[in-house]
Structure 1
Amino acid sequence: MRNTVSKFLDYLKTEKGSSPNTIASYKRDVNNLINYIESNSLTVGKITNTNLNSYLIYLEKMGKAPSTISRNVASMHCYFRYLYKNNIIEQDPSSNLISPKIEKKLPEVLTMEEVDILLSQPNDDDCKGIRDKAMLEVLYATGIRVSELINLKKDDVSINLGYIKCRDNKKKERAIPIGQVSKDALVKYLKSARDIMIEDPNEDFLFVSCLGHKMSRQGFWKIVKSYANKAGIYKKITPHILRHSFATHLVENGADLRSVQEMLGHSDISTTQIYARMSNNRLKEVYTKAHPRA
């Protein structure tokens, strides 16, 4: 049985093109499974669906997280499917295995008060502060991804119409409205700071670094972190937290999920529904604290 593992790993690498991390995970999972099987005096051709379910129960009793057990199920599916296709076993015992349901962890968000404090930190008396203010305001006003923010071009902004255009990593374009506060911050940046900061007059990226080039993800992450520290917000702050906060606050204030889905650029509304759960949890907290008979 051990000799099938190395062949299976070669198959993952050469035929499936799996990443080194995936191969390492599958190797660990399959070897652990074989240890369990051998300790129960079984052979590869005698393994049944019941044996594999017993192993999953064993993992659960060992305190393994549902995500770990789910990954083990994926490893077993792939391994036994390989054995079956190569006529090493007569039937696939993993075919009816079901992964445990994994509860999605709710993302961290800022309160509306924390957002106000964070966005008030940049000093808009200098070019850097004006740029930082505009970037933070646009990020919270639109909920776009950081990669989309730093890839915005100057022509993607329509101040008069109150929209920005952005493209996701699949080059799919969407238009998102911006409010008056973010429009004012953008106008100030475009009129008072950008032309001073750019090195090349033909630079078309909207936001540039202090060296006059396109802003990097890491550079913007440092900007957000520094202002969070300055504001005294000690949550685990990342630029993505403003995207989550944008969506959560919209839903809390009555926005419909379809509109939020479109603005976020989610292909599946089930991804957007997590913000409805967060809003419901928030309402429950408010009710519990405020209702005399809660």
Structure 2
Amino acid sequence: MILQKENECLSDALIRWSVEYEESLELKDWKDITIENYMVGVRFFISYFEENQNLDNLKLIDLTTKDIQRFFRWRKEEYQKKHGKVIEESTRTNNKKSIQNFFRYMKNENSNDLEFRIDWSDITFKNHRKDIVYFEEESVNKILKHLESKMKKDRTELSYTLSFAFKLALYGGLRASEVCSVRLNHFGKVYTKSNEDKSVKFIPLMIMGKNSTSYTNPIPYDKIKNEYNYFKRLKTQKETIFLSKRGLALTRNHLYNYLVEVANELELGKQGVHIIRRTFANNLIEKGVEIRGVQILMRHTDIKTTTIYTARSKNQMEEAVSKLI
């Protein structure tokens, strides 16, 4: 395909390429949410040139690193105006990744064999790192006690759903979307692991991750056996386990809202679903699990992502400082 037609403005050329690019992502059989994540940065990039007519006359092949940097400055300013807060570094990084991939596609597919003069390594963002928020042990116990009480009192499918979902994130590190996609046939056979001190029963769970990937994490069986056996009696092996209040397949938005209700009822001050996954990572670090082991259980491709979750382990900081005394 021609990179840019004669008399074609820059935004029109980008739109034409974006249609082809989106179709190429769909042909990879990726999930809709993954495709949307890749396209959102591209759409902002196109909007930048559509809203700045003096830039829309530029040639696509002539775009430089500075042009991309100016876009991200504009993106930051627009985000501040719209949301009244600073754009997260992770959002800008994801936008960069999607736009860089878009340019890689145009480079590979253009019929002129043209190459861009953009040094993507020069496009960096300041890291305004915040402490990772997680549930303290007291809060975890409050939630578990509350969910246990609801199961015994209500005996509804929803009460078992919330307890099971919470525990899969807490003891298995599952993301909200991964929890929602769990089926009974994703669980393996219960087995016992013994050492000098004790024996622990585990049940392997195949986790369906991003881009059709799958991983298997061991889940402590005794922690989930009541909920697991409840659904084992109720559902078929390949059936959707978790349903919403209205009987629809549970989504991460449903799960988020239900767990926010629990957090508000218990007046925890912290809420959400991903915070449970962070708690899983923090608990592993607090128990002395090495960072590589945490990376494997969190299923992070890059260990740098794991260090973000574990950088502020309270016990580790106290232990380190105690050595000065």
TM-score (norm 2): 0.62
1:208-219 matches, within 5 Å, as 208-209=242-243, 216-217=250-251, 218-219=253-254
Tell me the equivalent position of 2:286: 252
Deviation by residue 1:180-231 (Cα, 9 ceiling, x = unmatched): 4x1xxx333355x4477x3x6x465584448896851244333312211121
Question: Which of 181, 185, 194 lines up with 1:151 in the alignment?
Answer: 181
Name the amino acid aligned to 2:203: Y
Aligned counterparts of 1:226 and 1:61: Cα–Cα separation in 2: 33
In structure 2, list runs of 5 or more residues that go unmatched: 1-6, 26-35, 81-85, 193-201
> Residue 173 and residue 97 in structure 1: after superposition, are their counterparts in 2 closer, same or farther (change >3 A)?
closer
- Per the alignment, do residues 242 and 208 of structure 1 end up closer, same or farther by CA in structure 2, a change over 3 Å counting? same
1:108 aligns to what SS in structure 2? coil
Aligned counterpart for 1:3 among listed residues 9, 12, 31: 9
Choose 1 or 2 for highest CA Rg: 1
- Say whether the 8 Å CA contact 1:9–1:23 is kept in structure 2: no
* CA distance in structure 2 between the partners assigned to 1:267 and 1:28 by the alignment: 32
Structure 1 residues 108 and 2: CA distance shift in structure 2, 3 A: farther
Q: 1:155-202 CA distances to partner (integer Å, 9 max, x unpaired)?
A: 51544532231222324231313164x1xxx333355x4477x3x6x4
Give the aligned residue type for 2:292.
R
Residue 227 of structure 2, aligned match among 172, 180, 189: 189
- Structure 1's unaligned 5+ residue stretches are none
SS at match of 1:165: strand
Compute the displacement of 1:141 (Å).
1.4
Q: CA deviation at 1:247?
A: 0.6
Partner of 2:155: 127
2:208 is aligned with 1:168: yes
Q: TM-score, normalised by structure 1?
A: 0.67
Question: In the TM superposition, what is the alpha-carbon distance from 1:148 to its structure 2 partner?
Answer: 3.0
> What per-residue deviation string (whole Å, max 9, x for no partner) do you get for residues 250-291 of structure 1?
1122111222222222233232222231327x755x589x98
Give every structure 1 segment of 4 or more consecutive aligned residues whose post-TM-superposition deviation is greater than 6 Å: 45-48, 60-64, 210-214
Instruction: Give the drift of 1:9.
Output: 1.9
CA deviation string 1:120-164 (max 9, x = no partner): 212232323455334323321121223333333335154453223
User: 1:95 and 1:111, CA in 2 relative to 1: closer, same or farther beyond 3 A?
Assistant: same
May I ask how many residue pairs the two structures share in their alignment? 273
Pair 203,99 (structure 1): closer, same or farther in 2 beyond 3 Å: same
**C-alpha spacing 1:253/1:46, structure 2 compared with 1 (3 Å):** closer
Alignment match of 1:231 (pick from 266, 277, 280)? 266
Between the aligned partners of 1:23 and 1:102, the Cα distance in structure 2 is 21
For 1:233 and 1:243, locate their aligned partners in 2 and report how far apart those are by CA, in whole Å: 17
Give me the identity figure in percent: 12
